[in-house]
Structure 1
Amino acid sequence: MLSGHSFTSSESHSPIFSARPHDSVVPTTSTKSSIVSATELATEVDKPADWAHAITLDPVIKLTFPEVPIFNPIKAIQTVSTSFPYWLKTRSVSKLGFVAPIHYKWRDALWFAIQHPHSKYSTSRGRDFSVSFAIQTIFRACHHHEMRQLDNGRSGNERNALLYLVGETLKLPASSARAQVTTAGGVVLLPILNFSPYTLSPEFRTTASALARTPENLLLVHCVTEFRRVDNGENQMKLDMISALYQKKILGITNQFVFGVFQFDTDMLQINAGLWQDDKIKIYRVGTYSLQAPASLLEFVFALRGINQLGRTYRDQLLESAAAFQEAIKTKPLVDAWASTLIPDINADFGAPIVLE
């Protein structure tokens, strides 16, 4: 709900930061010593902690969730991610489809992980045969990762759609660190089509958008990704999540989660969930997954499915509240919490988005 209102529906003079990768600085004044780029915030040891304190982020990713109802959707995602189709346990070759001989090791590893006496995976997903296509992709991903590791060793529907954009520039909240924008590796966006408060008010558009550009429709940042084979993308992921969570705060929907994925140790992925709690940002680990284990990657796929489904629920909730939202902002306009974002070439070609079904 919008802060300060109840709904019936459920729940500067600093240099300009470029929209280009690496958040390069375009000098416009002589105050360089006081400038911190988003890249510095993500990579230097001391600056992220100072900045996190300034914008009320708890920088420690929590490994357990509080026992309160708001975390039930996250627990449900954890549960659904470990529930596989029953036919995987029976080693049904016909339902799995053709498996190339070079992928047999990954197929066997998947079967073993599911059939192991102490397996954490259950088989209660009914007749979801469409999963076979995802599994084939997972086998190829495992094989591709193995080949890259070997190479390194030798050489030393529109309403229901989610958008995935690469290299999108996100706004950051105002703070003493003076970072204005950050470039996300990848962003999953929820298009809120025909959301009247957004379509009718230019001021609302500027304030409500977490993107440095101003899109035609409200795009709600739902999940961010940082896939890096060498560097740990955790800090950059946190920057991206902060942008998304401040968008939630501006819109008064602080009871909605934002998700972040980052890669570490070259072959590990971690999904995290962020939420406003007691006027502070908290981030929790949802799960970790290995690029070398097919069962683990299938778990990752199901977790992403759950995240996408939750995003559609969030979008429906926001659309249902549009009329009440429109009425509320007449007396209480949105508060702009963003840093100044005078960025050149905001409307540059960002490339065709990838649609996630």
Structure 2
Amino acid sequence: MHRSSVSSSQTGARSHRSRITTASELATKPEFDDWARELKLEKHIERNLTDTPIFSAIKTIQSHSKIFPPWVRDKRSNNYSFIPPAYQKWKDVLCSSLQADDEYTFVDGGEADSAFPFAIGIIVQLCHHQDRLASVNRTSLDSNTDIHFILDSLMMHSCDGDGDEFLVYSTEQKLRLPATSSTKANVVTTTADGVSSLDIIEFDPYTIHIDYRESMSAFSTKNPTLHLILVHCVVEYKRLGVGENQMKMGMVSALYQKKFNKDGLQVVAGIWEADTIKLYNVGKYSLRHPGSLVELYLVLRGMKRLAADYRKELLNSSKTLRGVFKTNPPVNEWATRDTNTIHELPEETDDEPQHGDSHFQRGLSTLELWDMAARINAFHESIRNCDPYSLWQVDP
């Protein structure tokens, strides 16, 4: 009897130790399919946005991202006076390509702003750096960090450049994941390479109902933040397959709260349709085409305006949601660490080496975009229903 008991205990311990406990490991395993299926995440990324009202805001961002100020194609513009000599080549490439390209429209007073010229400086620096890294002599030295620190600068500038304070970009953020019934994986967080998040200051349903703050926060912190912070954008730079799967985990985290290949980036929208998370392609952008990166910057600017509208609508709904919370409080559906499971190692320890791999591709950089009105409606509906799979469908 004693031997049998020990054997059973050892078997149980081995079973728990064999469970997947990190997002970086899950992203590489067949068990990811089961995880996505249980959380009702459709893995396939749709190529085109459908002709429905929920996508109208995103389609507006797409169309506006192709409207440039006329000075961008003028090599002699004073807005280029601060470009260092080393980057002049890429300024010339940008201007020449735009003069010959009929894909873009040039209109005074379009999407340009006072921060626009500085963004151009970051873009030509990125192109220059990418070109140097592509030399035959440096092929074996390829790494994620070489490029993504400049892309982080562009992301940060899109949030901070105009001086307002409500949208913040930060790197290496740990996000909570919803609970599942899986016996093969017990993954409670995923670490995103970058996150743009929206501060909702003095949002009564969050600040007054202290007991519900943990249920309402997607960030994995020791204690919930003083004010509500909503995830607006998730960025991943990892290898193509792993990066795409970890991006999807980050989007699941954001949605429950409420390829980047060798030379390109992809923008993806995460949408709640009924009780299923669907993914849609918004645009693809080349690191070797400065005009394409200008278009990406304008997409980021459009995303920020969307965040501002959403913030306003959410604050306007504060009183209504306070009343809903009194009769139907939110349920904490985030995953928790199984006490019998071995301690989760840091995410980065599970990633394969990033150097010297002939099959290496820098991961997918992916941003989330949502329609503001639908997000608010979904928030109201999820609070009313308190359904485990729709609790934080703030971000359709």
Question: Structure 1, residues 295-332: CA drift from partner, whole Å, max 9, x if none?
Answer: 11111111111111111111111111111110111111
Structure 2 residue corresponding to 1:167, chosen from 158, 169, 172: 172
Task: Tell whether 2:63 aligns with 1:79.
Answer: yes
Question: Structure 1, residues 327-347: CA drift from partner, whole Å, max 9, x if none?
Answer: 1111111122211158999xx
Q: When the two structures are superposed, what TM-score results if normalisation uses the length of structure 2?
A: 0.70
State the secondary structure of the residue aligned to 1:168. strand
Task: Tell whether 2:59 aligns with 1:69.
Answer: no
Equivalents in 2 of 1:322, 1:125: separation in Å?
A: 38
Equivalents in 1 of 2:37, 2:260: separation in Å?
A: 24
Q: Match of 2:24, as an amino acid?
A: T
Q: Match of 2:194, as an amino acid?
A: G
Task: Tell whether 2:117 aligns with 1:132.
Answer: yes
Equivalents in 2 of 1:210, 1:224: separation in Å?
A: 12
Question: Structure 1, residues 180-222: CA drift from partner, whole Å, max 9, x if none?
Answer: 1111111111011011111112222010000111111110000
| Greater helix share, structure number | 2
- Where does residue 315 of structure 1 map in the other structure? 311
**Stretch deviating more after TM superposition (327-336 or 80-89):** 80-89
Structure 2 residue corresponding to 1:247, chosen from 247, 257, 262: 257
Task: Tell whether 2:131 aligns with 1:146.
Answer: yes
State the secondary structure of the residue aligned to 1:336. coil
Task: Tell whether 2:280 aligns with 1:284.
Answer: yes
Equivalents in 2 of 1:288, 1:115: separation in Å?
A: 21
Equivalents in 1 of 2:13, 2:232: separation in Å?
A: 34
1:47 is displaced (CA, Å) by: 2.0
Equivalents in 1 of 2:13, 2:296: separation in Å?
A: 45
State the secondary structure of the residue aligned to 1:126. coil
1:232 is displaced (CA, Å) by: 5.3
1:267 is displaced (CA, Å) by: 2.2
Q: Match of 1:198, as an amino acid?
A: Y
Question: Does the 8 A contact of 2:45 with 2:278 survive in 1?
Answer: yes
Task: Tell whether 2:114 aligns with 1:114.
Answer: no
Question: Structure 1, residues 33-72: CA drift from partner, whole Å, max 9, x if none?
Answer: 334431122122x222221111000111111111111101
Describe the shift of the 1:129–1:188 C-alpha distance in structure 2 as closer, same or farther (beyond 3 A). Answer: closer
Task: Tell whether 2:13 aligns with 1:37.
Answer: no
Q: How does 1:1-357 map to 2 (within 5 A)?
A: 31-44=16-29, 46-117=30-101, 119-126=102-109, 128=112, 130=114, 131-150=116-135, 152-153=138-139, 160-175=165-180, 176=182, 177-213=185-221, 214-228=224-238, 233-248=243-258, 264-341=260-337
What are the ranges of 5 or more consecutive residues in structure 1 without an aligned counterpart? Answer: 1-26, 249-262, 346-357
What are the ranges of 5 or more consecutive residues in structure 2 without an aligned counterpart? Answer: 1-11, 143-159, 345-396
Question: Does the 8 A contact of 1:95 with 1:132 survive in 2?
Answer: yes
Q: When the two structures are superposed, what TM-score results if normalisation uses the length of structure 1?
A: 0.78
Q: Percent identity?
A: 39
State the secondary structure of the residue aligned to 2:219. coil
Question: Does the 8 A contact of 2:24 with 2:242 survive in 1?
Answer: no
**Stretch deviating more after TM superposition (128-137 or 61-70):** 128-137
